[in-house]
Amino acid sequence: MALPFLLLQLWATAGTATAETHATPSCDASVFANPSVPGAEIISITAEERHDFGLPVMPGLLEPVSGLNFCDVKVYLTHPGANDKVLVEIWLPLSRSDWNERFQATGGGGWSTGLLDLALGPAVASGYAASSTDGGHPIDYFSADWVLSEDKSINWDLLQNFGTRSLADQIYVGKSITEQFYGQRPQYSYWNGCSQGGRQGYAVAQRYPTLLDGVLAGAPALRFPSLTMSFLWPNLVMKETGTIVSNCELDWFAAKALEECDILDGAKDGVIGDPNVCTFDPRSLIGQKLECSGAEIEVTDSVAEVVRKVHEGPATPFGANLFASLTYGTSFSTFVNASAHPDGTRTLNDPGLDVFARTILLRGSEKFNISNLTPTEYFALWVQTNEQYGGIMDSDNPDLSAFRNSGGKLLSWHGTNDDIIPHGTTIKYRQRVEREMGGAKSVDDFYRLFLAPGVKHCAFGTGAVPKDPLEILREWVEKGTAPDVLPAETRNENEELVTRDLCRFPRTQKYLGTGNANEASSWSCKDGDTKRESLDDGIEL
């Protein structure tokens, strides 16, 4: 990982000497030898030059990519006894002058181990040689059908690929192909992913701590099986209380929370700067009225109680918290599919988020119906989830000593209005690492967390999104410049540029009281140590 300077000089010199025979890299499969991948065998290697490649713009997620020229290398491998066929795809800038002498392994999303073109295109556009993998299963963000074999048994080999194994495979293969193509090893190697890709980044740091120099992990699904079970919590609360709260009403409560807590950071800008200090209580709105679908609805005790319990997150009948929930001011529309009707009645519909329970826990059972789920059944499934699948799919081991000792750096960020993965899960993990590894100051030497107020899942929302966090990670890894802030930006409803410097956890943003609130220079980072204790509660099953 981070080698002594003299050794780096010798390595760079050796790489330069070798590179003379690779002045014009050859994109021909015959020039590639089989990479050495622990526990795997190479099936085939193909290579093809691709020219003028482009990807369309995806507002908020992907800038337009065009005019890329690269060598597309596809390596298929298998794990003996697994009966799998895994694709690792590596894209390498065709011109040596377009390569920044660095390697980037990329993450997946949802139930996909990798994103392939969607991740490789931006990486190559930034000068990296990059890899992605399909984990040996279909690329499908919303379905886990590939986990089940024809006889409805769990395909544990594919699940292992998804959870951990294919992450290392693509790094071994990608770095080897990169070295063979250019005639020199990458000077530095990185991970880049958000959501599932964020979880994978943490998994690499925990399980394969010597493979990469730096890991960028956004909005990580650290306890992925538990996260999927938490999706069912709002429906369970409404069923047990006998009170349905529509999406319209939930959005109204979110707006009221924003109205109350927006100013707490010193500026009324449509963003709750620190959700931890927002003491909004939905019960304070009992008796108020709102309009949904043309009907006037009054906030009752039971409606307010449902909103409160939903926001507290999954808890046992004894009140012990099992998992963090979304903050006040965040929309629950991802988890809830309840509609209000003109006559004032409400209908609770299946939100379609029972993929894990239906497909994996119950092996594709057609009898499973979320509307019939009882608390006893829910908690039994929660325990089964963690006992059977936590070990293979969780990435929350707080012992990062091997990663630290190898010289690795972990840069992570999470939006506080994430509407899929509660940012409190990342905070709690960070707190556990601090307890395990000598406190906040020691941990900051190799692992730093930044919260993005107002930002939703990996992007969007009203808050400023990190502008180029991978470049910040590179500065830390390659020059030793540890970041205290993470530059971020967005555009407000008037299309005005809004900039912020996201604060290193546990510090939070505070408006200075003067200057344009849209400009980062008008804000500072204030001490937020109280956050460390206040969120460190609950149990884990």
Active site residues: 195, 418, 457
The three-point CA angle 70-173-31 to 5° equals 60
Alpha carbon distance 462, 454 (integer Å): 5
Q: Are 451 and 503 in contact (CB under 8 A)?
A: yes
**Nearest alpha-carbon partner for 92 in 56, 58, 49, 54:** 49
Alpha carbon distance 481, 218 (integer Å): 20
Q: What does the CA dihedral 205, 206, 211, 212 come to, rounded to 10 degrees?
A: 10
Pairing of strands 465-466, 485-491: antiparallel
Contacts of 358 (CB under 8 A, 6+ apart): 364, 365, 368
Q: Are 83 and 75 in contact (CB under 8 A)?
A: no
- Backbone angles phi and psi of 166, in degrees to 5: -70, -20
Q: Which amino acid makes up residue 350?
A: D
Alpha carbon distance 84, 11 (integer Å): 36
**Do you find a cis peptide bond into 506, omega within 30 degrees of 0?**
yes
In sign, the C-alpha dihedral spanning 63, 96, 171, 486 is negative
- Pull the structure tokens for residue 466: 């990190």
CA 236 to chain centre: 26
Exposed / middle / buried, residue 368 (Cβ in 10 Å: 0-12, 13-18, 19+) = middle
* Total H helices, total E strands in the chain: 16, 18
Pairing of strands 102-106, 497-503: unpaired
- Pull the structure tokens for residue 29: 């499969």
Contacts of 357 (CB under 8 A, 6+ apart): 228, 229, 232, 368, 370, 381
Q: Are 265 and 357 in contact (CB under 8 A)?
A: no
- Backbone angles phi and psi of 28, in degrees to 5: -135, 125
CA 336 to chain centre: 21
Residue burial 240-252, b: 16+ Cβ < 10 Å; e: rest: eeebbbbbbbbeb
Alpha carbon distance 25, 183 (integer Å): 8
DSSP code for 243: -
Q: Are 66 and 26 in contact (CB under 8 A)?
A: no
**Nearest alpha-carbon partner for 356 in 221, 238, 230:** 230
Contacts of 255 (CB under 8 A, 6+ apart): none
